[in-house]
Homo-oligomer: A and B are copies of this chain.
Amino acid sequence: VSALLESLLNGVGAEAVPTGSRAIHYGDGVFRTLLRKDGVVLDVDGQFAKLQADAERIGLSLDRRLRSQLLHEVENIAHGTRTAVLKLMLVRGGGGRGYMPTANSTTDRYVLAYTAPSYPAACWDSGIVAERSEFMLGDQPALAGIKHLNRLEQVMAYRSASTAADEVLLQNAQRQWVCGGRSNLFIVIDGILITPPLERQGVAGRMRERVLETAAKHGFEYRIKAVPDSLLSHAAEVFITNSLIGIWPVRQLNRQLFSVPGPVTGKLAHVLAHPRLTDS
């Protein structure tokens, strides 16, 4: 389990958040999870671009000053720890009761550092076991794709998951596959890379974007397209992504088996060269 190492609230070391925080009451904010590996925070620019885009969608601004403060804190928090998980949160300021934001409310920034998790090398080499969640994702286009702080769906998905699975994969009410509980989902059919759209539900991870960028740059054919059961049943390869793990091949989803390492998954992982969080 990841332990909290240090937290900064608006640049000041703090172990607690004021009880009036709109993060507590409404989940009124956005976040990103970054990896510092061997002293280097990975993909800062890409993560900040997504953080900014998400913030704007809920009406928060990440202006130049806030951005530079946040960058400084991300680079310096828990500095003695070479490998750490960093969580950046932007939260709408103002602490009164009521959903209506205060006029001209500021944006609060929380930066947290955690010990990094460690996984068996087999997660990358032999693939993981995933299971279909009993919990169905809802449908809310206005908030879909945003990495916001309303994450009860993910909590509920993990609550209902068996402990044997390495990841739980989620469908929407139309029984289309959308994403993993803490990851995005890709499948490969006839050599073509496919990932579900995130316009009605789900979270658009930065690693998903990096995989798509990598595919485009290296001439992989790819599509963003709905993935019903009937499509997934034809997949030769399945993998999940997030900014901590990079790419994990899925070797089993319920009773369906996939070839690991698949050629497309393997090439993408090779090009991405994301570091492994493993003890071995």
Contact = CB atoms under 8 A, between A and B. Distances in A.
A85 B154 CA distance: 31
Interface stretch (A118-126, A155-163, A227-235, A260-268): A155-163
A114 interface: yes
A96 B58 CA distance: 26
Contact of A14 (B19, B58, B99, B182): B19
A137 B142 CA distance: 9
A150 interface: yes
A124 to B, nearest CB: 19
A151 interface: yes
Interface string A15-29: 111111111111110
A95 interface: yes
A87 B97 contact: yes
A198 interface: no
A224 B161 CA distance: 34
Given A152-B27, A153-B143, A156-B142, A97 B110 contact: no
A21 B19 contact: no
Contact of A153 (B1, B136, B140): B140
A11 interface: no
Interface in A1-59: 1-4, 7, 9, 14-28, 31, 58-59
A164 interface: no
Nearest to A116: B97
Contact of A26 (B22, B95, B141, B152): B152
Interface of A: 1-4, 7, 9, 14-28, 31, 58-59, 85, 87, 89, 92, 95-102, 110, 112, 114, 135-143, 148-159, 161, 173, 181-182
30 contacts: A1-B96, A1-B97, A2-B97, A3-B96, A4-B95, A4-B96, A4-B97, A9-B19, A15-B19, A17-B18, A24-B24, A24-B149, A25-B31, A25-B149, A26-B149, A59-B156, A97-B114, A98-B182, A99-B154, A99-B157, A100-B155, A135-B142, A137-B140, A138-B139, A138-B143, A139-B139, A140-B140, A143-B153, A148-B152, A150-B151
